[in-house]
Structure 1
């Protein structure tokens, strides 16, 4: 587990990357945090050089917790982007006594009807088949041309493809099948149950997840919603200092 903190006795913040991501992408955020916050950045299952353990969302969450729990203090803050945010919310619901704060970035809380789940399952299965066959670089290029990444510039897209090229496509395809939103429970009630301070970050240019943020705000009393101007889906990569500022405020009780 990567560690960007100064001592072993400062508060812990665990940052979870998204699908296709890696722990080092959190380093600019970790460097922007105040010295009093110790930042840990573990790899997600399926992104650590090994195939994902199990074939369901719950299995991924169980495996991630089994790896995290022994290394962490009794209470810690949990931050997650996209898939990492979905797993963070699931872990916070299962182990609320361990969570001092929860910050989600561009994370889907879950689908609420059977037809949407079926449609998403078809979508993710098709992508999993595509990722596991043909040219890995061409498939990555196609992935980052989906509507949710429409704000990416060509240089930024090329940089992401180059960074993701080291992943094993078979592992990632299996992870996508297991981690599909189609198989994730609706975690909106989990967010409402959590007593710890919670925040949701979305890029102002990310229309889909900005709308999700607004919806969650109406349903979740006390949820802090922050929309970061000028960025799209991947806020911590595009605006690490702004994301670090949100983490800092929530973890220290200084809400915006």
Structure 2
């Protein structure tokens, strides 16, 4: 079932599949959409969401400051309220994982389980955050200057996505089309206002998070393996899965494995 849910004058695209408990909410990464998660189908009710400003039919987000993390957290909470969902298993990948962790720090009682794939607790120092803000601002300006096609061509050469170049051509094309069909203004403003540098550091809050957390990383993703190793040492209730033959986007490269991990979290 496809639904459109209006939150603060923005129309979110939502797809609901399955039935019963538990309830899962899936949040994609930067320049992604709900479509990349729809083959991940654990038992229960599954909610796939196009995040603010992303997806093939996304409207231009006005004002651009709506991309700030606190506003997106509040939107997410309002969306759960409209769907009459009290508690949820929250699954986020990369940018979606950053939003999921932020949501968990503000509304921990609404989360049954938190699943972070290729996630981070942010940059620990103001100096690192400022450096990242400058770098993201350059990328944001480039998006609108050169256009999505050239920006994506360069983006897909990042070492983070090396393993995706080993996937079947059809899957590579799906991911490329998903990225290139985003609206440049939204991509740019997301980088400005919701990039890693624009978010606070949540490292100091990890030890206080009283929510069961599952971390998922690909073994070929060395950067996020290091980050998640540190996160796993600070979270009080944590399980960390390191998946072979996968890079940053584990659920896209190893869909069955991730689905099995989620099903194993469900207590009959």
The question of a shared fold, defined as TM-score above 0.5 by the shorter chain, is answered with yes
Deviation at 1:159, TM superposition (A): 3.7
- Residue 141 (structure 1) aligned with residue 150 (structure 2): no
In the alignment, which residue of structure 2 is the partner of 1:2?
15
- Give the whole-Å Cα distance in 2 for the aligned partners of 1:227 and 1:252: 22
The superposition leaves residues 108-137 of structure 1 with CA deviations (integer Å, 9 ceiling, x where unpaired) of 211111221111011111111111122321
- Give the whole-Å Cα distance in 1 for the aligned partners of 2:103 and 2:203: 13
Give the aligned CA root-mean-square deviation in angstroms: 1.8
Deviation at 1:92, TM superposition (A): 1.2
- Residue 28 (structure 1) aligned with residue 39 (structure 2): yes
- Give the whole-Å Cα distance in 2 for the aligned partners of 1:166 and 1:218: 39
- Give the whole-Å Cα distance in 1 for the aligned partners of 2:195 and 2:175: 21
Q: Which runs of 5+ in 1 are unaligned?
A: none
Higher strand share: 2
Q: How many residues align?
A: 247
Q: Which runs of 5+ in 2 are unaligned?
A: 1-13
In the alignment, which residue of structure 2 is the partner of 1:51?
60
In the alignment, which residue of structure 1 is the partner of 2:77?
65
TM norm structure 2 = 0.86
- Give the whole-Å Cα distance in 1 for the aligned partners of 2:93 and 2:155: 17
- Give the whole-Å Cα distance in 1 for the aligned partners of 2:198 and 2:139: 15
In the alignment, which residue of structure 2 is the partner of 1:185?
200
- Give the whole-Å Cα distance in 1 for the aligned partners of 2:26 and 2:184: 23
- What does residue range 1-256 of structure 1 map to in structure 2 within 5 Å? 1-5=14-18, 7=19, 9-30=20-41, 33-34=42-43, 37-48=44-55, 49-52=58-61, 54-153=66-165, 155=169, 157-252=172-267
Structure 2 contact 69–102 (Cα < 8 Å) conserved: no
- Give the whole-Å Cα distance in 2 for the aligned partners of 1:28 and 1:113: 37
- Give the whole-Å Cα distance in 1 for the aligned partners of 2:266 and 2:104: 15
Deviation at 1:189, TM superposition (A): 3.5
SS of residue in 1 equivalent to 2:24: strand
Q: Spell out structure 1 runs of 4+ moving beyond 3 A.
A: 154-159
The superposition leaves residues 42-70 of structure 1 with CA deviations (integer Å, 9 ceiling, x where unpaired) of 11111151234525222222233323332
Deviation at 1:248, TM superposition (A): 1.8
